[in-house]
Chain A
Amino acid sequence: MKKVNRIIAVVFLIFIGCFAIKSVGIKECKEIYGVMATFIDKVKLEIKGDKLNEDTESNLNIDMKQVVSNTENSFNNSVFLRQEFIDFYGSIQKTLNKKVQEDLAKDNNNILHNIAETRDVTFAIDNLNELSDFSAEKDIKFLYVQPPSKVMEDFTVLPKGIIDSSNENIDEFLKGIEGVNYLDLRNNIDNWNLSKEEMFYKTDHHWTIESVFRGYSDVIDEINQLYKMNLDPDNIYTNIENFSETIYEENFLGSQGNKLSEPYSGLDDFNLILPNFKTDFTLTQILKNDILHEKKGTFKEALVYEDLIKENERGYSIESYTSYLGYGNTEKRIVNNSVENDKKVLVIGDSYSRPFSAFLSLCFKETRNLDTQPGRFEENIYDYISEYDPDIVVVMFYEWSLGAKDTFNFKRIELK
């Protein structure tokens, strides 16, 4: 028995020893050192400025705890074979047939869902109504577009006991903005000629590009009906027949799958939809009023970041959805050099609005997209609208965002 124990001890020591050596490599040491050095500099400044007092000591304690926390996170992120551990964890959950993990649930079709609680959408309602009124005062057309919910009637069956309120939240929100022109795409999905499985990624909270295109087409129809803007009069830019679809099979691990690991969630196909006709675009990415970069060329060359579809060493990409117009932290300005109108559109929304804006830019001379979630576009939207003076403002938010006060704080006032 003692010999067995010794074997276990030796194996254990070898295991933790190897992991210690491999986890804390030079890069990780530099990272951890960097975190601590920043803190030490801060302390030196405090001492130099002779500012040591009760508050400072208390703040230092909090700061030191933050340093410790950051160091622990850095270490955890650099653990040797980290992804293999996470994948192993995912395999265990799959073996245990877990349907609910953290705030996610797997439905009867093995599609992942964020479980939506009842949200207070009052703030969103009030601010959207105000924004619509403001646009009307400025004689700017306005349309709110509600993307479909991933929890679909007659299709999604969540585990018994899980109550999802996403559709109720949307209903509550739309009820509150009755005076605003809006398009609820949940009512259109049956006409999209797509199976419900094709409408959303099973591992991500976003709608698929196939759904985005159908949604965009419906929005153009709606704008034309409401405002007679005569967009795409020849039905070229909204006809799927004029687009090619390239399917990247088992390419995409979405945000939900990435949280729970690929062995648990599986992978999605990613469908890149591109126009077959001639296009000429300029995309400018702006961050805090500075131009980050510009891209010119065809729809694909200017508006698509193909690198983000590229599979990593594990055989998938976690960013394929972001390939249309890139990350959400920048303001996007798209100029369509080949469209035969001079119309300008401002799209305000979350990540649902990004690929949508890319397609929308086919029908407008200038399209701008602002993501108003915290940490992204943080300027006053009212000022922006006044300055840009678009022909139409289109607002689009996924259900998740409807309870987020910061996102709907278009005036950027200090919230209590």
Chain B
Amino acid sequence: MLFSSSIFVFGFLPVCLLFYYIIPKSRRKLRNLFLFIISLGFYAWGEPVFVLIMIMSILANYIFGLLVDKYNDNKILSKRIIVIMIILNLGVLCTFKYSGFVVDNLNNIFNLNIENPNISLPIGISFFTFQAISYVIDVYRRRDMDGDIIRAQRNPINVGLYIALFPQLIAGPIVRYKTVAQQINHRDENFDDFSEGVKRFILGLSKKVLISNNLALIADKAFSIAPNEISISFIWLGAISYCMQIFFDFAGYSDMAIGLGKMFGFHFLENFNYPFISKSVSEFWQRWHISLGSWFRDYVYFPLGGSKKGTSRTIINLAIVWFLTGFWHGANWNCIAWGMYFFIFIFIEKFLIKKNNKLKGLSFLGHIYTLVVFITGLVIFRCTSIPSALDYLKSMVGLNGNMWINDLTILYIKEFWVFIAAGVLFSMPVAGVIKRKFINKIDDFSFIKKCFFVSIYVVMYMGIFIISMSYIVKGAYNPFIYFNF
């Protein structure tokens, strides 16, 4: 079930909120049970059979958590449990996600004829598997965000709740167990948090439905034209639109997830922090899909030694992390190439470019460089094969005999300029500026002025909500891009 659907907004969500809040706050276990069951139902709605995989994952990781907690003092044994846990979790993930890729490549390389298993990919398996791993490892590590001790959940429902909680189940963010460990049994649902959650949900919904879905139309059109027929301007327009489509879809979903979490008393960490203001690729990845980057940092990069074992080892560790980052995004060579593409730039930034004070005044070059690198990288990500990606990249610099501009570019700019402008504007930290200049000063206004601004503010939020719902009810274009995850 998509968040951006009428059945979710007018069906699932109101029913869920109603029954959740009917249960008294003192009945924490009952509220958790309800939330867990409804989350399973949410997943089963999209994957009626694969919900069993999730339930088995929950049970298995619940047991691993208990074992690792019990034998925590025995480092050798607990590490072995961790290894088995990782093998099992990644084994399931690899079976569903990567077996076809492995078989195809074995057949191609060794000229074999192994039958492709063609296993369907359960939606969200990449997300909930990583969360499950996070649970067991955080129990093993014993400390939460505040340095307090974490113990394994005795109640399997709570483990299930953590892994399967519907707001972040299908498209993240990857919520780390240590960030919500206390919240599972000790969260404080209050109306202020709920209200912030509502606002966040509305903003996320509008990002997805109004900006992302419309820019997707440009991207889809651009990438449907053969590389030797597309104009340079249109491929760039398509690539930039794709970049903003992905950002607003993903960031929008994250906003909705964070907002929904708040409605039920959970506080998740931010997943995006205005990545397009970055001045380097390294900085970009600290602002983009933060939950994934930090997951790989904490569970892969640091355990491998991070940057503490010399330059060569650091480079290898980085290469491994970026290989896995690319591979996590999809079982194909394009995604791997995309991951390694970023590795190259991060390597260059970290090891080859020394910090140069003379460059400080040219930070705008850093912005342009970062944007160009990311947009170009997304062309690799978007295409269905490496040769096709290279073809489009050639078109971006006119190496396929492409004309500079054509009627199609002008048509699409005319048709979508509002969404392009909104995309550019809201990818910048505009909200923070508005908040500082106006919102935070509302209490100082006169009564009439205050009423006026409050009315505008409320109307604005409900206005974009209603506009978003009109797009949803109409059945406007609403792509789901997380089928690879």
Chain A positions near chain B (C-beta within 8 angstroms): 1-9, 11-13, 15-17, 19-20, 23-24, 57, 60-61, 64-65, 68, 71-72, 75-76, 79-80, 82, 85-86, 88-89, 92, 96, 98-100, 102, 159-162, 261
Residue-wise interface mask of B (381-422) relative to A, using a CB-CB cutoff of 8 A (1 in contact, 0 not): 000000000000000000000000011111110110010000
Question: Which segment of B58-66, B109-117, B457-465 sits at the interface?
Answer: B457-465
Closest to B46 in A: A68
Residues on the A chain within 8 Å of B17, using CB: 13
Q: A7 and B458: CB pair below 8 A?
A: yes
CB < 8 Å neighbour of A20 from B11, B48, B467, B471:
B11
Q: B195 and A75: CB pair below 8 A?
A: no
Please, how many angstroms separate the alpha-carbon atoms of A96 and B415 in the complex? 8
B14 within 8 A of A: yes
Please, how many angstroms separate the alpha-carbon atoms of A100 and B141 in the complex? 56
Which of B49, B195, B406, B412 has the most A CB atoms < 10 Å from its CB? Answer: B195
Q: A92 and B470: CB pair below 8 A?
A: yes
B474 within 8 A of A: yes
CB < 8 Å neighbour of B192 from A5, A82, A85, A96:
A5
Please, how many angstroms separate the alpha-carbon atoms of A143 and B10 in the complex? 55
Q: A161 and B7: CB pair below 8 A?
A: no
CB < 8 Å neighbour of B5 from A1, A8, A72:
A72
CB < 8 Å neighbour of B10 from A79, A159, A160:
A79
Residues on the A chain within 8 Å of B196, using CB: 5
Closest to B408 in A: A161
Known: A76-B473, A161-B407. A12 touches B198 (CB 8 A): yes
- Give A233 Cβ to nearest chain B Cβ, in Å: 53
The 7 closest A-B pairs by CB, nearest first: A161-B411, A161-B407, A5-B195, A9-B195, A64-B48, A85-B473, A20-B14
Question: Which segment of B70-78, B81-89, B351-359, B438-446 sits at the interface?
Answer: B438-446
- Chain B contact residues: helix, strand, loop or mixed: helix
Q: A65 and B198: CB pair below 8 A?
A: no
Please, how many angstroms separate the alpha-carbon atoms of A24 and B6 in the complex? 11
CB < 8 Å neighbour of A98 from B194, B410, B415:
B415
Closest to B50 in A: A61
Residues on the A chain within 8 Å of B192, using CB: 2, 5-6
- Give B18 Cβ to nearest chain A Cβ, in Å: 8
Q: B476 and A76: CB pair below 8 A?
A: no
Q: B470 and A89: CB pair below 8 A?
A: yes
Please, how many angstroms separate the alpha-carbon atoms of A123 and B465 in the complex? 48
CB < 8 Å neighbour of A8 from B199, B418, B442:
B199
Residues on the B chain within 8 Å of A20, using CB: 10-11, 14-15
From residue 222 to 251 of chain B, which have CB atoms closer than 8 A to chain A? none
Please, how many angstroms separate the alpha-carbon atoms of A159 and B408 in the complex? 10
Q: A82 and B473: CB pair below 8 A?
A: yes
- Give A19 Cβ to nearest chain B Cβ, in Å: 4
- Chain A contact residues: helix, strand, loop or mixed: helix
Please, how many angstroms separate the alpha-carbon atoms of A79 and B454 in the complex? 30
Closest to B49 in A: A61
14 other A-B residue contacts (CB within 8 Å) besides A11-B462, A76-B6:
A4-B454, A4-B457, A5-B195, A5-B198, A5-B199, A15-B465, A19-B10, A19-B14, A23-B6, A85-B473, A89-B474, A161-B406, A161-B407, A162-B411
Closest to A100 in B: B415
Known: A12-B465, A100-B415. A23 touches B454 (CB 8 A): no
Known: A4-B458, A11-B462, A75-B6. A17 touches B14 (CB 8 A): yes
CB < 8 Å neighbour of B202 from A3, A12, A82:
A12
Residues on the A chain within 8 Å of B49, using CB: 57, 60-61, 64
Chain B interface: which size bin?
Answer: 35 or more
B310 within 8 A of A: no
Q: A161 and B10: CB pair below 8 A?
A: no
Chain B positions near chain A (C-beta within 8 angstroms): 1, 5-7, 9-11, 13-15, 17-18, 45-46, 48-49, 120, 191-192, 194-196, 198-199, 202, 406-412, 414-415, 418, 439-440, 442-443, 454, 457-458, 461-462, 465-467, 469-471, 473-477
Q: B46 and A8: CB pair below 8 A?
A: no
Residues on the B chain within 8 Å of A60, using CB: 49
Please, how many angstroms separate the alpha-carbon atoms of A20 and B443 in the complex? 35
Residues on the A chain within 8 Å of B6, using CB: 23, 75-76, 79
Known: A8-B458, A79-B10, A99-B415. A1 touches B443 (CB 8 A): yes
Please, how many angstroms separate the alpha-carbon atoms of A99 and B13 in the complex? 35
Please, how many angstroms separate the alpha-carbon atoms of A7 and B198 in the complex? 11
Residues on the B chain within 8 Å of A3, using CB: 454
CB < 8 Å neighbour of A1 from B18, B411, B442:
B442
Please, how many angstroms separate the alpha-carbon atoms of A16 and B6 in the complex? 10
- For this complex, 28 residue pairs linking A to B, each with C-beta atoms less than 8 Å apart, are A1-B443, A2-B192, A2-B195, A7-B454, A8-B461, A9-B195, A9-B198, A11-B462, A12-B202, A13-B198, A16-B10, A16-B13, A17-B18, A19-B10, A20-B10, A20-B11, A60-B49, A64-B48, A68-B45, A75-B6, A75-B11, A76-B475, A79-B473, A82-B473, A99-B411, A99-B414, A161-B406, A161-B410
Please, how many angstroms separate the alpha-carbon atoms of A86 and B475 in the complex? 9
Q: A88 and B461: CB pair below 8 A?
A: no
Please, how many angstroms separate the alpha-carbon atoms of A61 and B17 in the complex? 29
Residues on the B chain within 8 Å of A5, using CB: 192, 195-196, 198-199
Q: B470 and A161: CB pair below 8 A?
A: no
CB < 8 Å neighbour of B48 from A4, A65, A100:
A65
Closest to A7 in B: B458
Please, how many angstroms separate the alpha-carbon atoms of A325 and B436 in the complex? 66
Q: A100 and B411: CB pair below 8 A?
A: yes
Please, how many angstroms separate the alpha-carbon atoms of A88 and B199 in the complex? 22
Closest to A17 in B: B14
Please, how many angstroms separate the alpha-carbon atoms of A96 and B210 in the complex? 13
Please, how many angstroms separate the alpha-carbon atoms of A102 and B214 in the complex? 11
Q: A85 and B415: CB pair below 8 A?
A: no
- Give B47 Cβ to nearest chain A Cβ, in Å: 8
Closest to A64 in B: B48
Closest to A105 in B: B411
Closest to B120 in A: A61
Residues on the A chain within 8 Å of B9, using CB: 16, 19
Known: A68-B45, A76-B475. A1 touches B439 (CB 8 A): yes
Residues on the A chain within 8 Å of B5, using CB: 72, 76
Please, how many angstroms separate the alpha-carbon atoms of A80 and B465 in the complex? 16
- Give B237 Cβ to nearest chain A Cβ, in Å: 12
Residues on the B chain within 8 Å of A23, using CB: 6, 10-11
- Give B201 Cβ to nearest chain A Cβ, in Å: 8
Please, how many angstroms separate the alpha-carbon atoms of A279 and B408 in the complex? 54
Please, how many angstroms separate the alpha-carbon atoms of A339 and B409 in the complex? 59
CB < 8 Å neighbour of A159 from B48, B411, B470:
B411
- Give B5 Cβ to nearest chain A Cβ, in Å: 7
Residues on the B chain within 8 Å of A68, using CB: 45-46, 48
Please, how many angstroms separate the alpha-carbon atoms of A99 and B18 in the complex? 43
- Give B52 Cβ to nearest chain A Cβ, in Å: 11
Residues on the A chain within 8 Å of B46, using CB: 65, 68
CB < 8 Å neighbour of A89 from B408, B411, B415, B476:
B476
Residues on the B chain within 8 Å of A80, using CB: 10
Closest to A80 in B: B10
Please, how many angstroms separate the alpha-carbon atoms of A102 and B221 in the complex? 11
